[in-house]
Structure 1
């Protein structure tokens, strides 16, 4: 039989106050597994796992609103394991930052003790360094979302070559090329193909998020050909005619000013050099949308249809003013799955209102998805890339 704890026992074991436990209940962050007929709270071992999540995320700087949404599925082992791995990476990053803080404090103290001139600009850097921890929540969300999406495609796709290997093969890289990837994210295109990168190739991975690029750097390691740069693709900080190849893998539809971005890409490409940009159509993963809509028509997985900004149907028309010899190549694939957890994880990673809607209906939603997929579930994939030349 499951062991249950009273509020007092639960609080004592968790080293928090009863007031904290009651507060989390009131805010619907941590509800007790059971309530007695008299209204007393009873907590389970699974509730301890969720409380661990809450306390660590709170330590990492998340708001209670964020925590409430991010721990929807924390009672499920696989979700908990994935979340713990992400939390570990953030804690490791915080440790590295704190080491830098200690070094800065020591050097400043030494300068003061020996009446040397203090470089106060370093202390200002220290202040900004510690303030950067506020960005951890965004980094965590991005990393968790990317992980959920990659896992679904990697583990359940029919085409076993995989998107990143397929795209890399089509890039047809040559030794000595200078390459820029815009919106490189966690660098999966490269970390999965490191042994195939030609000699003397320079690859610059860029993203608007410094935290995501740090993840890419960790995964790629000390490979001498890779550099990392944080910037917005609408303002590429490189000279004209610099690159032999520019890549934008499923990112152009996020650009606020797509025209400006494409002008920048054209500018930094060498004459005759290629621009690879991937995207998808309205048919891509449409079964996921149909699934959540059939559960609750109020759920919107994305407030914007990204394929309308830049998709397989309109991409050539958008690229034509900037590039020549444009052609499209499609990736033939689908997802076949009979497990609910990866689909739910994918759904929770979307940028819509699903987490807010599902907060108080998670178990019901989980059972609904399990029923829909138990005999097999097909998900359409309709993605590909455009390539054009300057």
Structure 2
């Protein structure tokens, strides 16, 4: 078990959408690909009339919220998460979206639905947090109909490498450089894991980068990694102030902080029964 899928750490990290929101805010505010991650991911989904859809680890429901006006009227969506706080936020963000018929806490490793129940299963940026990922993927294949599709997003192992260097140069005691969710399940190793349970696995990549011109959103992003990174051990109030000044000096000197990033989606069909 790693810090990426330690249940205690993950529970602390996602008991509300505070940390997730801080990270989303940086990407939304400073991404160079202006089409938008939420729009691009939704474009990959193919929904047919009367489809039954379930998402695991729905978080604050941002992809649905950004695309609620594009949803077909005749599909049924169930949103699940381990965090009741996330589900509450998601429900608030998606008030009035009639296609979402239920919000419930559920463990992807032990799915409480019968075989062949769903036309579409979604797991966005969450499989790397699952302790027994192989069991989770087998459960997804089990509940999917034979003609169903599983969509799973994640990051490249090389995404935001520049941010890790930036944090390490500020204080080498911060262990952000050694933390990587994508090493658990990323664009480079996801096909191998998914192919055990699906006969067809395709990958699509969303190219992007960050052009950051404000210090606070970047500082908030780094501080949001509490638990995954030893933030509380190092970042005292004075140290946080120093970190803000460190970032502001870089932006003043160079005009911006530019960091490459890369994420994508796996589209999986023909589940192995």
What TM-score, normalized to structure 2? 0.89
Count of residue correspondences: 254
CA distance in 2, matches of 1:140, 1:202: 26
- CA deviation after TM superposition for structure 1 residue 292, in Å: 0.8
- Match among 166, 187, 193 for residue 61 of structure 2: 187
Q: Does residue 1:162 correspond to 2:36, yes or no?
A: yes
Residues 239, 176 of structure 1: alpha-carbon distance in 2 compared, 3 angstrom cutoff: same
SS in 2 for 1:279: strand
1:166-245 map, 5 Å:
166-226=40-100, 227-245=102-120
CA contact 1:164–1:192 (8 Å) conserved in 2: yes
CA contact 2:156–2:262 (8 Å) conserved in 1: yes
CA contact 2:80–2:103 (8 Å) conserved in 1: yes
- CA deviation after TM superposition for structure 1 residue 235, in Å: 0.6
CA distance in 2, matches of 1:251, 1:140: 11
CA distance in 2, matches of 1:297, 1:142: 29
SS in 1 for 2:176: coil
CA distance in 2, matches of 1:190, 1:153: 17
SS in 1 for 2:17: helix
Of residues 178-187 and 364-373 in structure 1, the stretch that sits farther from structure 2 once superposed is 364-373
CA contact 2:16–2:83 (8 Å) conserved in 1: no
CA contact 1:176–1:198 (8 Å) conserved in 2: no
Query: Match for residue 260 of structure 2?
Result: 380
Unaligned runs of 5+ in 1: 1-136
Q: Does residue 1:346 correspond to 2:221, yes or no?
A: yes
CA contact 1:338–1:377 (8 Å) conserved in 2: yes
CA contact 1:139–1:212 (8 Å) conserved in 2: no
Query: Match for residue 234 of structure 2?
Result: 357
CA contact 1:243–1:268 (8 Å) conserved in 2: yes
CA contact 1:331–1:382 (8 Å) conserved in 2: yes
Query: Match for residue 51 of structure 1?
Result: none
CA distance in 1, matches of 2:38, 2:175: 28
Higher strand share: 2
1:20-39 map, 5 Å:
none
Q: Does residue 1:300 correspond to 2:175, yes or no?
A: yes
Query: Match for residue 184 of structure 2?
Result: 309
Q: Does residue 1:324 correspond to 2:199, yes or no?
A: yes
Deviations 1:294-343 (A, max 9, x none): 01111023764211111111111111110022111000111111210110
Deviations 1:121-155 (A, max 9, x none): xxxxxxxxxxxxxxxx9588632101101111111
CA contact 1:335–1:379 (8 Å) conserved in 2: yes
CA distance in 1, matches of 2:221, 2:15: 13
CA distance in 1, matches of 2:37, 2:126: 15
SS in 1 for 2:33: coil
- CA deviation after TM superposition for structure 1 residue 346, in Å: 0.2
SS in 2 for 1:356: helix
- CA deviation after TM superposition for structure 1 residue 358, in Å: 1.5
What TM-score, normalized to structure 1? 0.63
CA contact 2:120–2:144 (8 Å) conserved in 1: yes
- CA deviation after TM superposition for structure 1 residue 253, in Å: 0.4
